[in-house]
Structure 1
Amino acid sequence: MYGTSTPRSARRLPALAATVALGAGMLVTLTAPAAHAAAGANLPFTSVEAESATTTGTKIGPDHTQGTLASEASGRQAVRLASGQRVEFTAPRAANALNVSYTVPDGQSGTLDVYVNGTRLARTLTVTSKYSYVDTGWIAGAKTHHFYDNARLLLGQNVQAGDKVALVATNVQVTVDVADFEQVAPAAAQPAGSVSVTARGADPTGQGDSTQAFRDAVNAAQGGVVWIPPGDYRLTSALGGVQNVTLQGAGSWYSVVHSSSFVNQGSSAGNVHLKDFAVIGEVTERNDGSPDNFVNGSLGPGSSVSGMWIQHLKCGLWLTGVNDNLVVENNRILDTTADGLNLNGNAKGVRVRNNFLRNQGDDSLAMWSLYAPDTDSSFENNTVSQPNLANGIAVYGGTDITVRGNLVSDTNALGSGIAISNQKFMDPFSPLAGTITVDGNTLVRAGALNPNWNHPMGALRVDSYDSAINATVNITDTTVTDSPYSAFEFVSGGGQGYPVRNVNVTGATVKNTGTVVVQAEAQGAATFRDVTATGVGAAGVYNCPYPNGSGGFALTDGGGNSGWTSTWSDCSTWPQPGQGNPDPDPNRNLAKGRPATATGSQDVYTPGKAVDGDANSYWESANNAFPQSLTVDLGSSQTVRRLVLKLPPSAAWGARTQTVAVLGSTDGANYTTVAGAQGYRFDPASGNSATVALPSGTGLRWLRLTVTGNTGWPAGQFSEVEAYTAP
């Protein structure tokens, strides 16, 4: 029941698959919320969500449905621009550089024009689907994902706070998620005594192959510094034998290495320092048999990685062998098809801190105790946004591990914001031991519906997947905001019923959980102190061990708890978001992402297209065969007050009237008429949508729309069927 992944080749890079804005209309600086001033990284840029900007485009979302553009966006919202449309940001700070998270349709590419205070810049942003739409079919429950990409631009001028910066789609549809505004310092000067790669023959234009020049510079600079001047350098194979040397650039916006594998070595004597340049690869798919990583293997003891921009690789750092006392800090890791960083085996005293990670295709930050335990290592004050197939931060085994002061948001599909787990993937594995400290973390919109289980995963998960948890797990000062499902989950994910013991949850603030505060599904025990909750969707506690009869989970009230005293009473059903209490968001579309069926459909225009959150896709019934019906299972009985029926907004869809009756059912078998057959006008000039007001108090689980006529086409057609509790 609880299997979340298939083993990766030599782990198949964890597939517990599971993103940073704090909500619509908010300008977001990606540092900690007020509740924990230290949570998240201290970043050199300020991010602004597209949905909070001015636009002539179409806002999409919010949505938590796996496989949709809105669900993978930060804040679960974005802005879609057709050619000629714009989104205009108000600059939140002085800046001379811009990075944009975006997506374009699969197989397409184009440009975004950039305007500052109404004046178009000569420089444009190139946008492409080349690095998006990744398919990992060997991972159970995975769908095509990794829709977004990042494109950056030095503006060539200074922008002041309050200036208007607009992006205009010129030749392709572009969905814009977020814009990062940054004041980039001038390029640094060459350190005295350093060995320049250009002096060894490297080509800063990127035309020639600079691999040998870099190798020669590394050999010549033993004990010193290899200097990477401003420029673009192309490497066709990885560096090996890197030890006792510093590789330093003029800054990650200036010194750029184009390589899909930068360092690949099984061992090193250490004292390696990689700093202040960018490594941008050409990885367009995930191949776990290929070392397409910035660092693959070992840097050796006493090494560091800092000030790097790492993008378009499989993994940022896949660290094996000896990496004792490694420090990884102040880096940006973007658009990897698998992990951002993974410490697997024998990491001692490693510190990973103050990094920014966005759009990972697996765990953004992970420790995996394969072959030997990771010990006395930590993830501290990192900001993680939009991992689209796994956890934000995952600890798989290890001894005396710390996860402190991190900000994780918008996890998507198969994962949690933070996972503390004994999932081994392969042997030999070292389970959790000693004290695991999880302190001062903030989780925003974290947790996801696991498609393998058809069951949710909490914002913070403690998982005895392959063996009992006997370590002491101290979870302190946690903030959980807008989790789509639960805040804290205790589970034996392999379905074997191993216990989760010795857990202490102290000082948590939980706001607006979709279902419950505590999701207990394993035998074991935890003590809760000073845990306060508001806006709980269904009940305080879901306590239903799996497998049945495997033993209960004891929740000890240590005092100071409030707002989550109720218990979900029926272990045969899982609570849906908002069930039991009034929905915390009355404007939530109850039909989005729910199962849909129909009496018939035409070609690829299947029923699910009417509930996928994309108004441009649509269901079309069998032709010339009225009546036709579309049925949506809302998952639980809901009081529906209003329906919004849509057709694609394109002007290519001529105006038409569809005759529709609304029926409802509480058991899926017996239907009653909620609203009789009536003609509803769809006109692209007014948005191509129609609103259906339902009688007050209409309770139903199954919603059925029966179409008996259409003046524009001999079939029933809906691009979106939306259901709301608000009138």
Structure 2
Amino acid sequence: MNRSMRAARPRWRRPATAAVTALVTALGILAGPPAGAASGKPGPAGAGPVVTRAALDPALVAGRGARVAFLEQEAENAQTNGEVIGPDRTAYTLPSEASGRRAVKLLPGQHVEFTLPAAANAITVRYSIPDAPTGGGITAPLDVAANGKRLRTMTLTSQYAWLYNQYPFTNDPNADLLHPDWWITECSCVPAGTTPYPSITKPFRPSHFYDEQRLLLGRSYRAGDRIRLTVPARSNAAWTVIDLLDSELVGPPRVRLRAANALAFGADPTGRRDSAAAIERAIAYAKRKKLPVYLPPGTYQVNRHIIVDDVTIEGAGNWYTIIKGREVALPTPAPDGSVHTGVGFYGRDAADGGSRNVHLSGFAIEGDVRERIDTDQVNGIGGAFNDSTFDGLHIRHTKVGIWLDGPMRNVRITNNIIVDQIADALNFHTGVTDSLVADNFVRNTGDDGLAMWSEATANARNTFDRNTVQSPVLANGIAIYGGTDNTVSNNLIADPVREGSAIQIGSRFGAEPFTGHLRITNNTTARAGTYELNWNIGLGAIWLYALDRSIDARIEVTGDAYLDNTYNAIMLVSEWGVKDLYSISNVRFRNIRVDGTGTSVVSARTAGSASFQNVDARNVGAVGVNNCGSFHFTPAGSEFSLTDLGGNDGGWLAPWQLPNTITCDDRPPVVPPPPPTRW
């Protein structure tokens, strides 16, 4: 999410440095091998492939998450002569940002080898290599071989990775604090008010380590064939970390004969010449003749926004048609505050009525965004759209994959892959209604994966269904900020890294209030609940946060599964400065399964109430309910009350805790849970 609010520095009571150190130490062991793998070590030669989803046994997440064409294999389950790193859930480490919190570190000359679980002709490699000493990234080779025969050398890059310091971050690893007046956990101080000024270890808070590349192998390989990734001995990278490999059988390019073919209007499929004007000519012709625009296989250079309205643009498939551009500095800032432009398809502004009847499908959008500038409009898709669809796109290296500024209605965003973003993957911002986001795969965002932000005008009647969100580096997998009658269902969210969690329901960022109902239904989270840097506490896999106002709409959380929770499964919290003003009530949890918590099933740090029915829990690290209320500890009990509607198994909700017994341990010890298994 684009927001300067992180200067607000939320804070609770400040713990002693020793307590923080103990907490970090505990976090270092809070992960384990995926269910379905007998151990976390590379298997013996000839062992079959281990296929996972979000580093989990696929049986644990059946029916949840995006239906994708590829199969995921974690490097730590493959054959390697390198080093398995992790598990680790502490921020600013390579394992913490890896899928499943483990990866394989290769030195020059070392390799990792995957056995294909099904026929494939294409792979995606998620990796990390070091930054340049002064920032800006390096490139390094990676050899790809099949069945012992070298196919080609990929050129890896860290030019789109490695951010440092405080929000909104910097590419300079040697930078001093960006905000010396902000609270710093590492020194338990506000540096500007501290004498002598505390030193910080540089690089300070490195993050956003990973990138990924796709490769067509040139032919199809069978199940059981071996794909080996080798770091050449000549590599200039001191190390190369391989997180995972996705393998896929990609069909032939799609051909559209009855269309305005962009090549006929001068588009250059080699990428040497800018094709923006040619694509615009094709769009104008297509609108006159009521035809779609067709972009044949190739790479098309586009370095600015293409404005689209009442048009269909189809590629040959996102493996074949690539719209790629450079980020371009503007000579003077634009009226919206942008200081750069770049590749993107934009609708007309909502103030001008927005665009209508726009359909984009079957191509990739590759940007060139390497730093976070919140005023920049350098998103893959932006503006306002009505009665429109975005399907089968692959978007990477933009600021936000899809940022939509309403009011607008009836948009369907389906079957897209959005990876390696500086900020969000998708954000419904301001008055987006009656729209669907389904079967999208998101990985490695620099902020919320999927968000609805009801700033100024409420989002209403939208659904986020069957999406997968993995490894958001900052903030949440799915975040709902205000709105009316929205639904979050059947999603899979795994491995949030810092200052957020899997699902957040937040009254914050100036959002309109929650009204009507909010349904959170049949979602699965894994290894969620991060260490909130400013508060020095652990968050829940799902957390409700009252900052700007109370949350009292009808919120129903039904059928979710919270697996391998780093801290709590469920958290309800209000900001310390407004804890006596705002509360959270009318929340109903039903048919929930909690498999493993580092601390509690429920942590309440607010006034209000919630009910629980058929909430089953096992492998709970501390007390089932950590009820602090609003921290007044009155003789009447906590300001937060729990209602037991029956069927809550596992002993986590005991009669003596009801309705509002104070059971407050501000920062209980973390007990690593065992890996999740079938219920």
Instruction: Classify the TM-score, shorter chain.
Output: 0.7 to 0.9
1:116 — aligned with what? Answer: 146
Stretch moving more, 266-275 or 479-488 = 266-275
In structure 1, what is the Cα distance between the partners aligned to 2:7 and 2:144?
38
2:474 to 361, 370, 389: 389
CA contact (8 A) 1:8 1:14 kept: no
CA contact (8 A) 1:134 1:337 kept: no
2:70 to 40, 45, 61: 45
1:565 to 653, 658, 671: 653
CA contact (8 A) 1:15 1:389 kept: no
In structure 2, what is the Cα distance between the partners aligned to 1:152 and 1:36?
25
1:134 to 163, 183, 195: 163
In structure 1, what is the Cα distance between the partners aligned to 2:257 and 2:89?
49
Shift of 1:132: 0.3
Deviations 1:573-631 (A, max 9, x none): 411211xxxx5459xxxxxxxxxxxxxxxxxxxxxxxxxxxxxxxxxxxxxxxxxxxxx
In structure 1, what is the Cα distance between the partners aligned to 2:621 and 2:612?
20
User: Highest relative contact order (Cα 8 Å, sep 6+), 1 or 2?
Assistant: 2
1:67 — aligned with what? Answer: 92
CA contact (8 A) 1:20 1:410 kept: no
Counterpart residue identity of residue 127, structure 2: Y
Q: CA RMSD in A?
A: 2.4
1:204 aligns with 2:228: no
Counterpart residue identity of residue 166, structure 1: R
In structure 2, what is the Cα distance between the partners aligned to 1:51 and 1:203?
41
CA contact (8 A) 1:303 1:323 kept: no
In structure 2, what is the Cα distance between the partners aligned to 1:572 and 1:509?
23
Counterpart residue identity of residue 349, structure 2: G
CA contact (8 A) 1:32 1:40 kept: no
Task: Describe the shift of the 1:109–1:569 C-alpha distance in structure 2 as closer, same or farther (beyond 3 A).
Answer: farther
Matched residue SS, 1:220: helix
Counterpart residue identity of residue 469, structure 2: V
In structure 2, what is the Cα distance between the partners aligned to 1:14 and 1:377?
29
2:626 — aligned with what? Answer: 542
Shift of 1:565: 3.2
In structure 2, what is the Cα distance between the partners aligned to 1:22 and 1:440?
21
1:238 aligns with 2:305: yes
In structure 2, what is the Cα distance between the partners aligned to 1:82 and 1:37?
37
Shift of 1:12: 7.8
In structure 1, what is the Cα distance between the partners aligned to 2:77 and 2:159?
27
1:154 aligns with 2:242: no
In structure 2, what is the Cα distance between the partners aligned to 1:21 and 1:208?
48
When normalised by structure 2's length, the TM-score is 0.80
- Matches of residues 710-725 of structure 1 in structure 2 within 5 Å? none
2:518 to 428, 432, 436: 436
Task: Describe the shift of the 1:374–1:468 C-alpha distance in structure 2 as closer, same or farther (beyond 3 A).
Answer: same
In structure 2, what is the Cα distance between the partners aligned to 1:83 and 1:323?
52
2:188 — aligned with what? Answer: none
In structure 1, what is the Cα distance between the partners aligned to 2:431 and 2:594?
35
Shift of 1:180: 0.3
Counterpart residue identity of residue 8, structure 1: R
2:561 — aligned with what? Answer: 479
2:280 — aligned with what? Answer: 215
**Whose helix proportion is higher, 1 or 2?**
2
Matched residue SS, 2:72: strand
Counterpart residue identity of residue 632, structure 2: N
1:575 to 665, 668, 678: 668
1:339 to 401, 421, 424: 424
Counterpart residue identity of residue 444, structure 1: A
Shift of 1:21: 9.4
1:256 — aligned with what? Answer: 322
CA contact (8 A) 2:402 2:426 kept: yes
CA contact (8 A) 2:314 2:363 kept: yes
- Matches of residues 656-695 of structure 1 in structure 2 within 5 Å? none
Shift of 1:318: 0.9
Stretch moving more, 465-474 or 354-363 = 465-474
In structure 2, what is the Cα distance between the partners aligned to 1:58 and 1:452?
33
**Whose strand proportion is higher, 1 or 2?**
1
Matched residue SS, 2:431: coil
1:407 aligns with 2:492: yes
In structure 1, what is the Cα distance between the partners aligned to 2:541 and 2:507?
17
1:555 aligns with 2:642: yes
1:461 — aligned with what? Answer: 543
In structure 2, what is the Cα distance between the partners aligned to 1:97 and 1:65?
33
- Of structures 1 and 2, the larger Rg is shown by 1
2:206 — aligned with what? Answer: 144
Deviations 1:428-464 (A, max 9, x none): x311111100000000001100110111111011122
Shift of 1:418: 0.5
Deviations 1:333-352 (A, max 9, x none): 00000000000111110100
Shift of 1:117: 1.2
CA contact (8 A) 1:125 1:152 kept: no
Instruction: Give the fraction of aligned pairs with identical amino acids, expressed as a percent.
Output: 40
1:284 to 361, 370, 374: 370
Matched residue SS, 1:221: helix
In structure 2, what is the Cα distance between the partners aligned to 1:396 and 1:522?
18
Shift of 1:465: 2.0
Unmatched tracts of structure 2, length 5 or more: 11-30, 42-49, 133-137, 169-181, 185-203, 326-341
2:154 — aligned with what? Answer: 125
- Matches of residues 237-636 of structure 1 in structure 2 within 5 Å? 237-240=304-307, 242-259=308-325, 260-264=342-346, 265-267=348-350, 268-298=354-384, 300-423=385-508, 425-426=509-510, 429-493=511-575, 495-497=577-579, 498-548=582-632, 552-563=639-650, 564-565=652-653, 571=664, 573-578=666-671, 584=673
In structure 1, what is the Cα distance between the partners aligned to 2:69 and 2:403?
25
Shift of 1:302: 0.6
When normalised by structure 1's length, the TM-score is 0.75
Counterpart residue identity of residue 669, structure 2: Q
CA contact (8 A) 1:134 1:286 kept: no
Counterpart residue identity of residue 95, structure 1: A
Task: Describe the shift of the 1:99–1:544 C-alpha distance in structure 2 as closer, same or farther (beyond 3 A).
Answer: same
CA contact (8 A) 1:495 1:546 kept: no
Task: Describe the shift of the 1:20–1:269 C-alpha distance in structure 2 as closer, same or farther (beyond 3 A).
Answer: farther
Counterpart residue identity of residue 653, structure 2: T
Deviations 1:235-280 (A, max 9, x none): 121112x111011100000000003431234143310011000000
Counterpart residue identity of residue 423, structure 2: A
Matched residue SS, 1:71: helix
Counterpart residue identity of residue 320, structure 1: D
Matched residue SS, 2:457: coil
1:8 — aligned with what? Answer: 3
Matched residue SS, 1:176: strand
Unmatched tracts of structure 1, length 5 or more: 587-727
1:27 to 51, 54, 62: 51
Matched residue SS, 1:88: strand
CA contact (8 A) 2:625 2:663 kept: no
Stretch moving more, 520-529 or 265-274 = 265-274
